[in-house]
Amino acid sequence: MSSLVKDNPAKRRFEILVDGALAGFAAYDQPQGEVLVFTHTVVDPRYRDMGVGSELVRRALDHVRARGGRAVPRCSFVAAFIDRHPEYATLVIDEP
């Protein structure tokens, strides 16, 4: 299984493509400077329980980190991911 995560600023979301098909996305509000507020994560039922959601969030947060940005995990899936992976906790800020 080959996956690609990309930012789609026009739709304000990170998308994960698996073997070329859209498998899910992590939506965010209009960026406020370098802060992204993650609001909702969706994974197509065909790709659930395969680690697709975790891969999506991991790569999205890596993208935020690489830009020197910060994140607000309003989405419960993103918040739970960060709780399980404390190496991302330094990216988290309170609501801007």
**Secondary structure (DSSP) of 36-53:** EEEEEEEE-GGGTTTTHH
Residue 59's pLDDT is 98
Q: Is 91 left (phi over 0), alpha (psi -120 to 50) or beta?
A: alpha
Tokens of 39: 């609001």
Q: Mean pLDDT, to the nearest integer, of 57-77? A: 97
Question: Predicted confidence band at 96 (pLDDT cuts at 50, 70, 90)?
Answer: low
3-88 CATH choice from 3.40.630.30, 3.40.720.10, 1.10.287.80, 3.40.50.880: 3.40.630.30
Question: Predicted confidence band at 94 (pLDDT cuts at 50, 70, 90)?
Answer: confident
Provide the whole-model pTM.
0.94
Residue 77's pLDDT is 97
Q: What one-character-per-residue DSSP string does 47-70 give?
A: GTTTTHHHHHHHHHHHHHHHTT-E
Query: Which of 71, 65, 92, 78 lies closest to 29, judged by CA?
Result: 71
The mean pLDDT value of the chain amounts to 95
